[in-house]
Structure formats: structure tokens, C-alpha cells
Amino acid sequence: MRMELMQGDAMLGSITPILRHLLANDDHSVFGDEIIARVRGVLADLVGQLLDELAKAGGTTEKAAREDTLVQSLVHDLIDVPGLMTHIHALAMEWQLNDRLQARLGLDPVLSPLLQALIASPDTVTAGTAMNLLASQARFIQSLRRMQLPLTELPGDLLHGALLVMRTHVGSEPQADALGAKAEAAIRARYDESRCRLGLIARLVTGMGGGAVAALSITHAGIAIFASALSIASGQDRDLAVLCTNENQLARLALALRASGLKTGAVEEQFLSLHPDVALPEGFDALGADRAAAILAVAGCRLGT
């Protein structure tokens, strides 16, 4: 499993440079894969939102025609924002996985059994947060279907990187800088990371305490909550938790599930949901949660996470 994990890590380390190359290539017919197309679409949508905010800051409410060179320049600069490509790629994979499991298992991508139970919770705070997540998850599914992502749904560090790109393109002349500052202030005024989709999921999972083990069941929790629960329980970044559901990351998935405290039977259940034709390696029973976490920690150092 250690060797398989190293091979998987090598692939993970190549994701961003490969995506950067594919997205920078203008030949859409060659790179028409669904994931690449969705990542490209989300990047273009983020650029459109940044330009819309600049237009509003300048007193214009109508969307103006934009030069392709400007749009492409902004796209290329967004690609270089640390972590942004990995995040968008993970969201595209999450959307695709939701779509696949809905078709194969009938798993509702919006209202999972766990979320339904949380909505019915007698605790009003939990029930309210769960209702907000229901609405947020529905918007996420619809947005990614249209290859869109609201700027205010980005994690704080990635939103900051995107705003820096916007300010750089506006320029440093006093009038232009003031325009960029006004647009940035408007975006930040609407932003609350704790109320975005991923923030809501994190609050629900951590609020479950010891009961959060229920969130580590894909068929019970749904992909969105499962990925966040796996991230929290295994100490991995959420984007990495999503990426490890890929068929090339089986070792990382098994180790993450074990590091999260799941017994072999529960790990097998998750593999049955994601990879029904894959069996756990011989001797997996003997691998303890602490040992699995230690192996993942070493792998995290290799990846720089």
C-alpha cells in the first residue's frame, strides 16, 4: 500500500501542471474531456464575475463586451493562484461523482439521509444549519451543471488570490486602483466563509461530535458531507479527500478511511459504493488507525500539504 500511495501521490503532484497546460491550450477539440471542460468553464465564470464587479464599481450595470485577450489573461493568472486549480478540479470531480452515484445507486446529490435527519433535529441551531446547507448544496449542483461557481463560495485564501489578480489587472494608477479597491470591498462585504457550502458542512460535521462517524458513510451522508468528514477525520485537505475517491488513489482512500477510525467492514462498504470491483489488500485488518495516519502524514509532506 505504501508503494501504491507513492505512485498515487506522484499523480496528484502532476495534476496542477497538467491542468495548467491543458487549460492554456486553445484547441478545445483535443481537450474536450468533461472535467477539463468544467474546470475551464468555472475559471471563465470567475473571470466574468470579477469583471462584472469592476463594471459595477465604475457605475455600469450592464455587461459590456470583453476582449478575449483580457479574459484569457485573467484566466491564465487565476491558474497561477496557489491551490485554486486543485480546488476547482476537486469540485468538478465531486460534481461528476454525485452524478455517477445518482445514476448507479440512486443517491440524491442534494438531500442525503443524514442531511434529512439533521434537518429534523430537535436542536434548532443544527436544524437551521442543515436547512441552509440543503439550499447551498442545491445551488452548488445547479452552478456546476452550468459550469459556474460564485466567488463567495471560494475558501478565503483562494478568494484573496483571485482578488489580487483582479487588482493587478486594474493597474496601480490612482483612479484605477480606487476602482479595484471599491470592487474588492463589495465582494468582501458579501463574503462569510462560515456560511458558504463548505463552511456549513464543516460546522455540521464537527457539531456531531462522536456521531460524526455516520458522515463517513457515502450512501448515508452523500458525497459532499462524506468528503468533508473524511477530511476532518483523517487530517487531510478536503480537496485531497475528494481526489482520493478516484480509481488511481485507492491506497490513499483506504488509508484515509482507516485513519478516520473505520473498521475493515465499514471501509469495504465505502469501496463497494465507489469501486465495487476492488477488494482491500490482504492483511488490511492488521493496519491500525495510528499507523495509517502516520503513512498519510509522510505522504502529505511529499505533497507539501
What DSSP letter does each residue of 215-276 carry, written as one string? GG-HHHHHHHHHHHHHHHHHT--HHHHHHTTSGGGHHHHHHHHHHTT--HHHHHHHHHHH-T
Confidence band for 29, pLDDT divided at 50, 70 and 90: very low
Contact (CB, 8 A) for 295 and 302: no
pLDDT of residue 242: 94
What pLDDT does residue 274 have? 94
Has residue 248 got a pLDDT over 70?
A: yes
Cβ-contact 210, 203 below 8 angstroms: no
Residue at grid coordinates 459595477: 56
The number of distinct structural domains making up the chain is: 1
Chain CA centroid to CA 163, Å: 19
pLDDT, tens only, 97-140 = 999 999 999 999 999 999 999 999 999 999 999 999 999 999 99
* Over residues 179-193, mean pLDDT: 96
Highest mean pLDDT among 169-178, 202-211, 246-255: 202-211
* DSSP 8-state symbol, 80: T
Q: What percent of the chain has pLDDT over 90?
A: 69
Indicate whether 297 pLDDT > 60. yes
Nearest to 41 by CA among 89, 113, 109, 101: 89
Lowest mean pLDDT among 9-18, 31-40, 73-82, 243-252: 9-18
| Residue count of the chain | 305
What is the DSSP secondary structure assignment for residue 29, as one 8-state letter? T
Q: What is the pLDDT of residues 277-288, one digit of tens each?
A: 988 888 889 999
Mean pLDDT of the chain: 88
Calpha distance 162→150 (Å, rounded): 12
Per-residue confidence band for 148, with pLDDT thresholds at 50, 70 and 90: very high
Residue with cell 466574468: 48
- Output 160 or 173, whichever has higher pLDDT: 160
Residues 298, 8: contact at Cβ < 8 Å?
no
CA 249, 148, 239 angle in degrees (round to 5)? 25
Q: How many whole angstroms separate alpha carbon 268 and alpha carbon 87?
A: 27
Residue 200 has pLDDT above 70, yes or no: yes
> Quick one: pLDDT at residue 240?
92
Residue 11, pLDDT > 90, answer no
The predicted pLDDT at position 65 comes to: 55
Residue 190 belongs to what domain range? Answer: 2-303
Neighbours of 148 (CB within 10 A): 18
Asked which of 4-18, 76-90, 222-236 is least confident by mean pLDDT, the reply is 4-18
State the pLDDT at residue 269: 96
Q: Cα 223 to the chain's mean position, in Å?
A: 11
pLDDT tier, 273 (very low <50, low <70, confident <90, very high otherwise): very high
249 vs 204, more confident: 204
71-90 pLDDT per residue, tens = 888 999 999 999 999 999 99
Residue 207 has pLDDT above 80, yes or no: yes
Average pLDDT over residues 12-16: 61
pLDDT at 24 over 80: no
| Residue 3 to residue 99: CA distance in whole angstroms | 31
Q: What is the pLDDT of residue 249?
A: 86
pLDDT tier at 7, thresholds 50, 70, 90:
low
The Cα 226–Cα 217 span in angstroms is 7
Burial of 32: CB neighbours in 10 Å, binned 0-12, 13-18, 19+? exposed
